């Protein structure tokens, strides 16, 4: 699903009006009806509901919603925040229509006009929408603050009043902090950025049938991966396939005290469908790996405690294929930053032709030796969390600047970067960014990154295109986390639970 900017959303609105064709006021009615369908599914008709409206089309939506809820006999109160002398045409139209059936619309001009909001009430926030052009001040600011202080449940129409859809807010901006945001047709970029969490709440997209062809043709570099799209990436398996059909992955993982990372990556790799898996671990991990992951072959490193890339001299010809012969290599989980391991990375990179997966300490080694970034095979997948990404680049002032850095980095080094977090962002060498829709805070626990490395290495080894591997792998990883959270709650989730909950269907 595409994420469009405000100007495009405005044009989409116009394009729908022209091509359907539909009168603007009827489009607003459709949006309001769809909102009300969503609302009545969640809140019973006895819910006292205060609807706060601005003077633009977001306010117009609020007035139409008020009329439709009144028809369904909800106990509503309507407040119009009169912050300016002018109203939009569709606001005025809906204001007239509401007044025909409801004669007690309140107007907020001064602070003492703001009503007391109680805990059993629901507030519908339709003060400002995507037409926000400046920070709230005066009576708008006071009303927003009063709503935020109130113990009621708050539902924002389209977007929280005061939140910019696709540009940074100032640190002192006053913004509604809703429990829910119910938006129309497409998500807004602001919804997937970490700093905005409290200004978005639990958000839902309603289909109001805006012009599909406009959306299909609209240029954008932002996407939101939904289940249907992720499933389309999943390849069907041929009945006559064999383990050779699904590649042979190699994981370079683990060090003394961190063999667990190797185990997690290996188990996740196997659970994601790879044909064969070889794991190279320092010798201290050999017995553990062979015992815990019998499905994997083990290639013990020449070193006892850290990876050096060198196989033991006493096993000539027994160490399996050369490093370059594997279908895909994943490197990083638990490897530490020993000088010998850096040497391994330096020796390895120039020899590789196929994309690899780079995570954890391999990323930290890269950030301490940035000249190595140029040696990454094109389309390799890097999976930093924000701190690791900062080490690879620099500090950012806000989430939007972070996205710019992410895009520049992926384009400059021709790599795929998975920036992990809520709505993990997959940046492609072409400059696109795909935000993931699955996952939950339970995944912020040790080892889940190792699991992701195993998944991505597995998909690359099976021949998935690196961008598709990243988008699909991140989605499947988050979905597995969601399954675990559903069964046992997000607290106490472990990386092993996530591996067990992986399902490819
Ligand atoms: N797009 C779609 O497909 C559909 C959209 N729909 C709905 O339309 C909404 C967008 O409507 P909208 O463009 O009228 O914007 P909205 O935010 O209501 O008001 C803008 C007005 O407020 C003013 N203003 C700005 N900032 C301010 C501030 N801080 N404090 C005070 N005033 C401020 C601004 O002033 P100006 O910038 O012109 O000076 C202008 O007068 C959208 O969110 C959705 O709910 C649906 O109905 C149907 C489908
Ligand atoms: K709003």
3-state secondary structure at position 378 = coil
Report whether 497 belongs to an annotated binding site. Answer: no
Tell me which residue of 272, 281, 274, 273 sits closest to 252, measured CA to CA: 281
Give the separation between CA 303 and CA 326, rounded to whole angstroms: 21
Give the separation between CA 456 and CA 419, rounded to whole angstroms: 14
Whole-number CA gyration radius for the chain: 27
From 133, 136, 161, 183, the mutation candidate for ligand 1 (largest count of ligand atoms within 8 A of CB) is 133
The predicted structure's pLDDT at residue 325: 87
pLDDT digits (tens, 9 = 90+) for 178-234: 999 999 999 999 999 999 999 999 999 999 999 999 999 999 999 999 999 999 999
pLDDT digits (tens, 9 = 90+) for 459-497: 999 999 999 999 999 999 999 999 999 999 989 999 999
* 3-state secondary structure string across 373-420: HHHCCCCCEECCCHHHHHHHCCCCCCHHHHHHHHHHHHHHHCCEEEEC
Report whether 86 belongs to an annotated binding site. Answer: no
**CA 59 / ligand 1 centre spacing (Å):** 8
Residue 214 has a CB neighbour count (10 Å cut-off) of 18
Across the chain, which has 505 residues, the per-10-residue mean pLDDT values are 98 98 97 98 97 98 98 98 95 98 97 96 98 96 98 98 97 98 98 97 98 98 97 90 88 98 98 97 97 96 93 57 88 98 96 96 98 98 98 98 98 98 97 98 96 98 98 98 95 96 96
Report whether 126 belongs to an annotated binding site. Answer: no
Nearest CA to ligand 1 atom 19: 56
Residue 311 has a CB neighbour count (10 Å cut-off) of 18
Helical ranges in 150-240 per DSSP H: 212-217, 227-233
Q: Do domains 6-219 and 245-500 have the same CATH topology?
A: no
The CATH fold assigned to 245-500 is: 3.40.1190
Q: What ligand 1 atom has the least distance to the C-alpha of 210?
A: 3
The CATH fold assigned to 6-219 is: Rossmann fold (3.40.50)
Domain ranges of the chain: 6-219, 245-500
Complex ipTM value: 0.98
**Angle 479-383-199 from CA coordinates, rounded to 5°:** 60
Tell me which residue of 442, 468, 440 sits closest to 455, measured CA to CA: 468
**CA 59 / ligand 2 centre spacing (Å):** 8
Give the H or E element holding residue 433. strand 433-436
Nearest CA to ligand 1 atom 15: 131
Report whether 261 belongs to an annotated binding site. Answer: yes
Report whether 294 belongs to an annotated binding site. Answer: no
From 22, 131, 174, the mutation candidate for ligand 1 (largest count of ligand atoms within 8 A of CB) is 131
Ion ligand 2 residue ranges (Cβ < 5 Å):
58, 125, 129, 156-157, 161
3-state secondary structure at position 497 = helix
CA torsion 445-451-452-458 (nearest 10°) is: 180
**CA 435 / ligand 2 centre spacing (Å):** 23
Give the H or E element holding residue 93. helix 89-101
């Amino acid at each position: 699903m595409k994420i469009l900017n405000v100007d495009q959303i405005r044009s989409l609105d116009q394009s729908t009006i022209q091509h359907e064709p539909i009168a603007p006021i009827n489009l607003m009615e459709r949006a309001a009806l769809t909102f009300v369908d969503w609302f009545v599914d969640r809140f019973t008709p006895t819910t006292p509901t205060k609807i706060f409206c601005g003077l633009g089309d977001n306010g117009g939506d609020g007035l139409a919603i008020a009329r439709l809820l009144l028809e369904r006999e909800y106990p509503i109160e309507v407040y119009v925040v009169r912050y300016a002398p002018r109203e939009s045409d569709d606001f005025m139209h809906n204001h007239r229509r509401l007044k025909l059936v409801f004669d007690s619309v309140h107007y907020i001009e001064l602070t003492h006009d703001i009503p007391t909001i109680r805990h059993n009430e629901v507030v519908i926030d339709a003060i400002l929408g995507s037409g926000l052009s400046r920070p709230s001040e005066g009576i708008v600011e006071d009303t927003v603050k009063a709503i935020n202080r109130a113990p009621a449940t708050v539902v924002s129409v389209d977007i929280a009043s005061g939140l910019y859809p696709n540009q940074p807010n100032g640190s002192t901006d006053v913004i509604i902090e809703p429990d829910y945001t119910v938006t129309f047709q497409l998500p807004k970029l602001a919804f997937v950025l970490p700093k905005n969490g409290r200004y978005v709440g639990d958000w839902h997209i309603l289909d109001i049938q805006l012009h599909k062809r406009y959306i299909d043709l609209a240029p954008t570099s932002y996407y939101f991966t939904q289940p249907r799209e992720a499933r389309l990436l999943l390849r069907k398996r041929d009945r006559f396939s064999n383990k050779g059909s699904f590649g042979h992955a190699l994981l370079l993982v683990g060090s003394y005290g961190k063999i667990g990372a190797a185990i997690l990556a290996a188990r996740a790799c196997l659970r994601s469908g790879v044909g064969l898996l070889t794991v190279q671990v320092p010798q201290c991990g050999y017995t553990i790996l062979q015992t815990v992951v019998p499905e994997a072959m083990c290639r013990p490193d020449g070193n006892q405690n850290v990876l050096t890339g060198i196989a033991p001299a006493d096993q000539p010809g027994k160490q399996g294929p050369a490093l370059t012969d594997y279908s895909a290599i994943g490197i990083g989980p638990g490897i530490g930053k020993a000088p010998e391991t850096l040497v391994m990375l330096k020796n390895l990179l120039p020899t590789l032709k196929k994309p690899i997966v780079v995570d954890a300490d391999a990323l930290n080694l890269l950030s301490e030796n940035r000249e190595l970034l140029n040696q990454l095979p094109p389309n390799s997948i890097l999976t930093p969390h924000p701190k690791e990404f900062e080490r690879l680049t620099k500090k950012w002032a806000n989430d939007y600047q972070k996205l710019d850095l992410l895009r520049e980095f992926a384009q400059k080094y021709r790599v795929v970067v998975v920036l992990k977090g809520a709505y993990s962002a997959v940046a492609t060498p072409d400059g696109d960014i795909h935000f993931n829709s699955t996952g939950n805070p339970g995944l912020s626990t040790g080892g889940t990154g190792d699991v992701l490395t195993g998944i991505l290495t597995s998909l690359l080894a099976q021949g998935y295109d690196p961008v598709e591997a990243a988008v699909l792998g991140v989605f499947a990883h988050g979905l597995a986390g969601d399954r675990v959270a559903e069964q046992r709650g997000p607290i106490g989730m472990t990386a092993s639970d996530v591996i067990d909950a992986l399902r490819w269907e």
